[in-house]
Amino acid sequence: DTFTNPDVYDKFKSYGQSKLANVLFSNELARRYSGTGLTSNSLHPGSIRTNLSRHILESQPKYLDILSDIIQNLLLMDSDTGALTQLYVATSPDVKDVTGKYFVPIGIQDSTSSYGDNVTLQSELWDQSEKLTSKFWN
């Protein structure tokens, strides 16, 4: 219901839930394929200057746009630097056999939240994903 009901949908909460789902799914994939040579890791790329927030404050005054740009330029990584963690996890021989882990900038193995490590949530997300997508592959 929260996906289709605009009275219940919260874009900030949904964004956070989508990031958690990435971690949960990656961890479940790592668990299910452990020992097969397939690896699955998740990561936080860091805070990167992009235009992803363009729809968050669509009707803000122009001076807030300018202030936001200044703050982003001072505090956020450029996209080239922001890509380094993904590139490291995907290509580095140092993590070739590492699976089920979480990485932060720049290529540092870290822990995720207790939610991300919750095996029950991982399994439930996997099962729900199979249920929702089964009509496409059965």
Name 44's Cβ contacts closer than 8 Å, sequence gap at least 6.
19, 85, 102, 103, 104, 105
In order of 42, 73, 80, 120, 125, the CA distances from 46 in angstroms are 12, 14, 12, 27, 25
Query: Which of 9, 15, 33, 102 is the catalytic position?
Result: 9
Residue 9 annotated as catalytic? yes
Residue 24: burial class (beta carbons within 10 Å; 0-12, 13-18, 19+) = buried
Tell me which residues are annotated as active site.
9
